[in-house]
Amino acid sequence: GGWGTGTDPDTSINLWKTEAARNYVNYSNPEVDKLFEEGRREFDVEKRAKIYGKIHELLYEDQPYTWLYFRNSFYGFNKDLRGYVFSPRGPYGYGPGFSSLWKPAEN
Q: For the whole model, what pTM was predicted?
A: 0.66
* 15 and 52 belong to one structural domain: yes
Domain housing 36: 9-62
Residues whose CB falls within 8 Å of the CB of residue 22, separated by 6 or more in sequence, listed in order? 14, 15
What integer is the mean pLDDT of 8-16? 90
If pLDDT is split at 50, 70 and 90, which confidence band does 47 have? very high
The phi and psi torsions of 82 (rounded to 5 degrees) equal: -130, 165
* 56 and 20 belong to one structural domain: yes
Q: Higher model confidence: residue 28 or residue 107?
A: 28
Answer yes or no: is 68 within a domain: no
The Cα 96–Cα 87 span in angstroms is 6
* 58 and 13 belong to one structural domain: yes
* 80 and 58 belong to one structural domain: no
* 56 and 13 belong to one structural domain: yes
What integer is the mean pLDDT of 46-61? 97
Taking 90 as the threshold, does the pLDDT of residue 62 lie above it? yes
The phi and psi torsions of 81 (rounded to 5 degrees) equal: -90, 150
Q: What is the dihedral of CA 83, 88, 92, 96, to 10 degrees?
A: -30
Number of separate domains in the chain = 2
Task: Report the SS3 class of residue 107.
Answer: coil
* 53 and 29 belong to one structural domain: yes
* 80 and 50 belong to one structural domain: no
Task: Report the SS3 class of residue 82.
Answer: strand
Answer yes or no: is 96 within a domain: yes
